[in-house]
Amino acid sequence: MSELTSPTKRRRNVEWPTLGLIILCYALWIAGLFWLSAVSLWLAVLVVGVMAAFHGSLTHEVIHGHPFANRRVNAALVWPVLLLVIPFARFRDTHLAHHHDAVLTDPFDDPESNYLDGGLWERLPRPVQAVLSFNNRLAGRLIIGPIVGQLAWMWSDLRLMQQGDRQVLRGWLWHIPSVVAVLAVVAVSPMPVWAYLLAVWIGLSLLKIRTFLEHQAHEKARGRTVIIEDRGPLALLFLNNNLHVVHHMHPRVPWYRLPALYRANPGRYLGCNGGYRFRSYSEVFARYFWRAKDPVAHPLWRR
């Protein structure tokens, strides 16, 4: 897929919709911690969890160069990692590597692939296979997905650090002050730390809905990326990244322009991805809540 940086009009100096949502996200997060948690702790946990997930979506926008042209300013805007467990530098590096479309879903070269190499899968103990098989259902992705994904990512990064990769080590070390700052704010709020950790789990689970089937195994790279034509709350939470093939074809286009691009020529995008489409997230839940969409072992990949 080719990168078209300006398919509509020239980018403005400041993308106000994105900047406005970043400010709103922090405002609602603070309100959840300091005001709502004193009124209803469980409602506060839900609101803070949604804002943590939303912050993850906004961080994704920052990684792609929004809302300012200056990358350091953009990074500073999302420096407090509300989800705690995702270092910005590692998210940035792995996600940009993921945008090399030729290796999408590759168990080794795509850092965001949910598939395993078939040989590795066969060598795993049965209990581990059972856990990963449950994780390949949407229900499993919501319930255990956050811990499965986090452990897999940290294990991979630990191996890279053991091999002497200093960039990975720096990414995790720079993450520590951010975690300390967020937890310091939580500590002086009415919300207990355990409740905030529950909110983090909710935020990570919500993001797993988006990543559950945004890519599939396909012989052609252009057929690996989904379109979900949802225009509801989840589309807003994910900043239109449900139109995923549009994002992959235009990775520098801001979130608020993606729907117009798709509406202008849906046949182009569906022709590109071979019709890999769902009408809504309701359809995704109905089909795959209790049923696995894919095997854990990549069905097409060959070393």
What residues does each domain of the chain span? 16-211
pLDDT at 6: 45
pLDDT at 301: 74
Q: How far apart are CA 220 and CA 133, in angstroms?
A: 25
Q: How far apart are CA 46 and CA 285, in angstroms?
A: 20
Contact 67, 61 (CB under 8 A): yes
CA distances for 253 relative to 44, 164, 184, angstroms = 33, 35, 35
**Residue 227 DSSP SS3:** strand
Q: How far apart are CA 289 and CA 283, in angstroms?
A: 10
pLDDT tens sequence for the chain (303 residues): 444 444 444 456 899 999 999 999 999 999 999 999 999 999 999 999 999 999 999 999 999 999 999 999 999 999 999 999 999 999 999 999 999 999 999 999 999 999 999 999 999 999 999 999 999 999 999 999 999 999 999 999 999 999 999 999 999 999 999 999 999 999 999 999 999 999 999 999 999 999 999 999 999 999 999 999 999 999 999 999 999 999 999 999 999 999 999 999 999 999 999 999 999 999 999 999 999 989 999 998 765
CA distances for 78 relative to 61, 84, 129, 160, angstroms = 10, 12, 36, 25
pLDDT at 12: 62
Contact 116, 297 (CB under 8 A): yes
Neighbour tally for 279: CB within 10 Å: 11
> The pTM is what?
0.94
pLDDT at 56: 98
Give me the helices (H) in the chain, please.
16-31, 37-39, 41-63, 71-77, 88-98, 118-123, 126-135, 138-143, 145-162, 166-173, 175-187, 193-211, 233-237, 244-249, 258-264, 266-272, 281-288
Tokens of residue 16, six digits? 């106000």
pLDDT at 1: 47
142: closest CA among 258, 53, 257?
Answer: 53
pLDDT at 8: 44
